Structure 1
Amino acid sequence: MKRFKYILGFIAASFLVSCEDYLDTPAQSTLDQSIIFASPDLAMKAVMGIHQSFGETNSYRGRYLAWYGLNSDVEWYNSSEKTTGQAQLANYTVTPTNDQMNTANNAWAKMYEGIERANLCIHGIRKYGNPTPGSEMGQILGEALTLRALIYADLVRAWGDVPARFEPITTSTIYMAKSDRDVIYKQLIADLGEAAELVAWPNATTMTKTIEHVNKAFVKSFRARLCLVAAGYSLRPDGQIRRSNDPELSVSKMYEIAKKEVLDVIGSKTAKLEPTFADVFKKNLRDDVSAGGEGLFEIPFADGRGRMVFTFGVKHNSIDQYTAQAKGGDAGVVPYLFYDFDTKDTRRDVTCVPYEWSSVKDYDKTGTRSKQILNSSGAAKWYFGKFRYEWMKRRVTSTNDDGVNKQYMRYAEVLLMAAEILNELEGPAVAAPYLKEIRQRAFNRAEWPTKVDAYVNALQDKESMFKAIVDEHAFEFTGEMLRKEALIRWNLLKDKMDVAKVKMTELSNLSGRYSDVNGKLYSRYAADGETLEIYGLNRGEIEDKTSEYSTVTSWISTTKLTALKINSLYLTDPNTRQFWPIWQNFIDSSNGLLKNDYGY
């Protein structure tokens, strides 16, 4: 079981009272702050209140994590063609009155609740806790600074310019207008620089033995990510897509900071890639939160909170041998991606799953077991194989939650950032070793001479290396909701989504780049009676196998992968809708200080 649970002590609960929206002032503490923040034990309980905000009903748990990141060129809501609230969040047609988001207790409010809790902790620890690098109170302050930065980074990722609150709310600051995101980025980068000096490396202390608390490797890596985002492109309130005009956030300055941070993490040898790609996600699903592996930080959820498999997992149509929760499959892989993977790439079959699990009545008359079945939508609907009930050790019994942590950052991203940064600053030869390390894990050793060495060594200029890094990012991180932000900062969002639409059209017609793909699948069951054996998924598998397989399924056609489905990847220019609107509820309660930009 996970080591970290949401068991808030009386002190934290009484001091950090939840508010219905971020405009409410916090309740007065039942204990004086000088007592709470002079004690490491009580201060840590207060910081746990920040963690609590992640799991509340309409916060990260079921709103932000479930919907931010959809749609991209490789990930989409599997019902994007619909016109209702959830689809609107994904297909770039959302409005400020969206019925999934426009409530007083929604993600916007809960994120500012978490920020206010962090502000109170940071203020109190600075005043009463005597935090120093390496001390217990220093670690606690570093965690509070990092959690505040994480929430703010996600706010800016989703909404662009937002109110900048870095001090506890007073009567004069209840209402605030939006701040330029550049101001926020500079504060976060400075805060993370301080936090990196305060917190310990993974496994150096009791607290950093688990990735449910922050450590120096995560803080430095997260700081590098923010530097790249701050120096990147994004839509501004005036309608322009551009980099920051602030010289402090220039590519040269931000990339130098990011370079130092990622090389520090790599040089520390306190994190490493898991032996296989599947191991990364099996550890996550099996609640292994030990530090020192690939995971750098996870947003922790107790068993009855969180919706990672619930939302992103391989679909189970009924309660069965693997789960007491019939869910999964809300989102999945954009259909062409499976066919763009190298057939030797071990990440492909972990990432892209073409089957779901049947209703038990279709397999087992006793009503307890299901089996894999090809979904009726054919190649129009794939699932993220990184999230599987069948890989869990715990049996999920909740009707709404699965308890799986959000894997917020892993070491593979550090290596890919290192390749990107060093390619920009020093050229492809210096970047090459880091890209090779990613690909070495992706391919069996026998394939390294061609799939790793020859492939990477052929990238002789910055442009070709950058293109390869963009492609590698998709193959490595599809389903982890990192892609949309990366495409925005690279100024590639619409370009890549346009390419995805063209590729899906070719796939539906079995033409162009996909002319060697079979429109039929031949399937049978393995000896266990539940696992599908499939012929026809790989390129070039076009022979008639009717005599060898029990079932032939129409998999790809214009009636399966329709023009309506393809076009629903985006219904409004995604470059003009890079951010969600501030929900009307919060506009109305802002005393006239908040407004929407970006054409909303």
Structure 2
Amino acid sequence: MKKILYTALAASLFAFSSCDDILDTSKKSSMEKTEVFSNEALVNDVVMGLHQSFGETNSYRGRYIAYFGVNSDCEIWNNTGKKGAFTDKEGALVTYNATTDNQYMNTDNNVWAKLYEAIERANSAITGMDEYSDMSSTNMRQFYGELLTLRAFIYFDLIKAFGDVPARFEPNTTETIDLPKTDRMVIMRRLLDDLLTAQDYVGWPNENSFTKSTERVSQTFTKGLRARIALFAAGYSQHPDGIRYNTEDATERQELYTIAKNECLDIISKGYNTLGTFEANFKALCAEGTTAGAESIFEIPFSASRGRVIYTWGVKHEKKDQWTKLAKGGINGPIPTLFYDYDVEDIRRDITCVPFKWTSDNDGDIAWKAPNKCWGGWSFGKVRFEWMNRVVDSSNDDGMNWQVMRMADIYLMAAEAINELEGPKGSSDAGKYLKAILDRSYPAEKASAILTKAKASQDAFFNVIVDERKFEFAGEAIRKVDLIRWNLLGSKMNEAKEKMTRLYNREGEYADLPLKIYYNEGLDGTDATSYKMYGLNHGDTDEIGQTLGYSKSKEWIVPKESADQAAALLLIDQLYDNNPDTKQFWPIWKVFIDGSNGVLTNDYDY
């Protein structure tokens, strides 16, 4: 089902091309609704109509995926050190400096509108199915569960980006078009209930014809999303009265951790998805295989001419080449210290953090690797044009699916929830689920040592979870939300700036790094397989590098007297402008505030 083409029928039924249609869905006669919601093929089209909202320019495609989740203590937007990032229409979105009139967001067709558009489509479809669909049909049940799950997924993304938002669980009417914000806990409780209901409807991976694809909702995703929401609800976030628990009820927090634990353990015990290897997951994603049952649980599908996943989160291609016909990639990258946070033998390091770019001859027929710089040169390498099976030839879009959830998250959420409930030595054995991630990431002795360290106490286990989730999910826009729910956003961002400053000065833990890197671009500049590099690791020295026979060398860590000094310092500064703890969420954009008849307002000093 790769690269779903949305039918004209789905668009015409639920695109609501005019404002009047949005306000009065009752215009559609009962006969029309009966015909639609009693027909499996038409209801399937209705479900796919929600995906249309994902692919529009100012929705997930070009706004949410591109800017939400950066900057964090491991991810940074525009890592080339572009001047004016604090006030730039794009940069302000990630440096905790957004204003309500942001030029990239303050339009009536932007991400806020598009997510609520999808919610309205889901509300109308759920209402129609409640009244007209035969719920004894396996397929109809699957569609119903998908609608509940996708609505919950979209609502949770709204909460992650904006905090408290209006709650809409029924089709819009003229009386309900303007609604005030609802406390996020009220909405999340409803989402948890809806996802529990949805489990009775959707199939497990490969259990029916629809769940054979990672582009469709399976019970693994429904349960995993319920666990993810429960952990966020049990944690912290910024509220109008300050940063606090989302629920002050300690008993409810325990219940939420129990939900997360039970959902994750059920997924793991059922065995419908397998963990596999770290690299295999991302190579399969780039190869655009969507067969369910491996590590990938759910992906937002994009057609070949939509989506900016590798363009935003992938390896930089400086010129056109045999994989992409235009310069692309490398917009978001690792902060320069992330590479050095990993253990040198952690297999995730060299897949996640890429110190080179691809460049090519003038004709773009062949490309080779060329090193960037420690400051403004790292790319994320989990998604790569060179791992694709087709050439990308559109301007910014690459058609790569956005991987929303994978099994590593299930294991780490299970470990975290169990530790919160029982500690690391409880009967449910939190360490068992952490061990699965450690064993595939480190040599056996190091994995065992980390697990022993974690099991020393509940706090020690939590601290290892904090680190391992960074190493596992860097470059997937998960980290910022983790830091928020742990109440670690501000402190970890401060720590990141301090570490970047020490790296710039080659002080502390970075004092043993050489000034230069030594490398071969390839034989005659064409053989990328011969690309080698020395000088990235602790203990590497310039003295040794000069003796190894590399054809080229290049300054890596910027010397203070270098012309690149200003760019390096700017990269440190632009990790954040305002205190992240005071700007955890984007503001509701002015166009929606102004159009709400005075119902909507902004908090957090916006």
Shift of the alpha carbon at 1:8? Answer: 1.5
- The residue number in structure 1 matching 2:331 is 330
- The residue number in structure 1 matching 2:104 is 100
**1:585 matched to 2:600:** no
**1:291 matched to 2:286:** no
Write the mapping of 1:171-320 to structure 2, written as runs, cut at 5 A.
171-238=174-241, 240-245=242-247, 247=249, 250-274=252-276, 276-320=277-321
Cα offsets for 1:120-161 (capped at 9, x unmatched): 1111111111325x7211110000001100110000000000
**1:478 matched to 2:467:** no
- The residue number in structure 2 matching 1:111 is 115
Of residues 17-26 and 150-159 in structure 1, the stretch that sits farther from structure 2 once superposed is 17-26
Tell me if structure 1 keeps the 8 A contact 2:325–2:364: no
2-structure distance, mates of 1:315, 1:436: 33
SS at match of 2:107: coil
- The residue number in structure 1 matching 2:448 is 453
Cα 1:72–1:80 shift into 2, 3 Å: farther
Shift of the alpha carbon at 1:23? Answer: 10
Tell me if structure 2 keeps the 8 A contact 1:16–1:26: no
Tell me if structure 1 keeps the 8 A contact 2:16–2:22: no
Cα 1:308–1:18 shift into 2, 3 Å: farther
Cα offsets for 1:306-352 (capped at 9, x unmatched): 11011111111221011123211111001101011111111001000
Q: Which amino acid aligns with 1:436?
A: K
2-structure distance, mates of 1:80, 1:220: 41
Tell me if structure 1 keeps the 8 A contact 2:123–2:169: yes
- The residue number in structure 1 matching 2:13 is 15
Shift of the alpha carbon at 1:400? Answer: 2.4
Tell me if structure 2 keeps the 8 A contact 1:182–1:246: no
Tell me if structure 2 keeps the 8 A contact 1:201–1:270: yes
2-structure distance, mates of 1:159, 1:173: 20
1-structure distance, mates of 2:198, 2:17: 27
Identity %: 46
Cα offsets for 1:402-453 (capped at 9, x unmatched): 110110000000000011011111121311111111011113xxx20x2111
RMSD: 1.8
Unaligned runs of 5+ in 2: none
Shift of the alpha carbon at 1:21? Answer: 7.9
- The residue number in structure 2 matching 1:553 is 554
Shift of the alpha carbon at 1:197? Answer: 1.4
**1:48 matched to 2:48:** yes
2-structure distance, mates of 1:457, 1:383: 33
Q: Which amino acid aligns with 2:67?
A: W
2-structure distance, mates of 1:273, 1:556: 37
Cα 1:470–1:23 shift into 2, 3 Å: farther
Cα offsets for 1:171-229 (capped at 9, x unmatched): 11111111111111011000000011111111111111101100111110110000000
SS at match of 1:371: strand
Tell me if structure 1 keeps the 8 A contact 2:234–2:247: no
- The residue number in structure 1 matching 2:406 is 410
- The residue number in structure 2 matching 1:568 is 574
Cα offsets for 1:445-493 (capped at 9, x unmatched): xx20x21112202321000110000000010000000000000000000
Cα 1:540–1:59 shift into 2, 3 Å: same
Shift of the alpha carbon at 1:38? Answer: 1.5
Q: Which amino acid aligns with 2:195?
A: L
Q: Which amino acid aligns with 2:394?
A: S
Shift of the alpha carbon at 1:19? Answer: 4.6
Cα 1:109–1:21 shift into 2, 3 Å: farther
**1:87 matched to 2:91:** yes
Shift of the alpha carbon at 1:297? Answer: 0.4
**1:131 matched to 2:135:** yes
Q: Which amino acid aligns with 1:454?
A: A
SS at match of 1:298: strand
Q: Which amino acid aligns with 1:586?
A: F
- The residue number in structure 1 matching 2:439 is 440
Shift of the alpha carbon at 1:3? Answer: 2.7
Cα offsets for 1:556-593 (capped at 9, x unmatched): 02445633321211110000000000011111111111
Cα 1:76–1:490 shift into 2, 3 Å: same
Tell me if structure 2 keeps the 8 A contact 1:231–1:249: no
Tell me if structure 1 keeps the 8 A contact 2:516–2:542: no
- The residue number in structure 2 matching 1:530 is 528
2-structure distance, mates of 1:284, 1:87: 28
Shift of the alpha carbon at 1:360? Answer: 2.6
Tell me if structure 1 keeps the 8 A contact 2:106–2:591: yes
Tell me if structure 2 keeps the 8 A contact 1:80–1:91: no
Cα offsets for 1:528-562 (capped at 9, x unmatched): 62353100011111142234111111110244563
Tell me if structure 2 keeps the 8 A contact 1:103–1:585: yes
- The residue number in structure 1 matching 2:72 is 72
SS at match of 1:322: coil
2-structure distance, mates of 1:406, 1:562: 31
2-structure distance, mates of 1:248, 1:112: 32
Tell me if structure 1 keeps the 8 A contact 2:336–2:374: no
Cα 1:22–1:396 shift into 2, 3 Å: farther
SS at match of 1:335: coil
Cα 1:436–1:75 shift into 2, 3 Å: same
Tell me if structure 1 keeps the 8 A contact 2:375–2:568: no
Query: Aligned to 2:368, which of 344, 354, 371?
Result: 371
SS at match of 2:553: strand
Of residues 221-230 and 546-555 in structure 1, the stretch that sits farther from structure 2 once superposed is 546-555
Cα 1:321–1:332 shift into 2, 3 Å: same
Shift of the alpha carbon at 1:6? Answer: 2.5
Shift of the alpha carbon at 1:26? Answer: 6.0
Q: Which amino acid aligns with 1:37?
A: F
Tell me if structure 2 keeps the 8 A contact 1:314–1:385: yes
Q: Which TM-score applies when normalising by structure 1?
A: 0.94
SS at match of 1:437: helix
Cα 1:398–1:105 shift into 2, 3 Å: same
1-structure distance, mates of 2:337, 2:72: 13
1-structure distance, mates of 2:320, 2:104: 26
Shift of the alpha carbon at 1:258? Answer: 1.2
Shift of the alpha carbon at 1:389? Answer: 0.5
Of residues 147-156 and 38-47 in structure 1, the stretch that sits farther from structure 2 once superposed is 38-47
Shift of the alpha carbon at 1:525? Answer: 3.0
Tell me if structure 1 keeps the 8 A contact 2:370–2:521: no
Write the mapping of 1:342-421 to structure 2, written as runs, cut at 5 A.
342-361=343-362, 366-375=363-372, 377-421=373-417
- The residue number in structure 2 matching 1:163 is 166
1-structure distance, mates of 2:283, 2:28: 42
Unaligned runs of 5+ in 1: none
2-structure distance, mates of 1:184, 1:93: 27
Shift of the alpha carbon at 1:524? Answer: 0.8
2-structure distance, mates of 1:505, 1:371: 32
Shift of the alpha carbon at 1:39? Answer: 1.7
1-structure distance, mates of 2:503, 2:16: 50
1-structure distance, mates of 2:464, 2:414: 14
Q: Which amino acid aligns with 2:576?
A: Y
Q: Which amino acid aligns with 1:8?
A: T
2-structure distance, mates of 1:138, 1:280: 30
2-structure distance, mates of 1:485, 1:202: 27
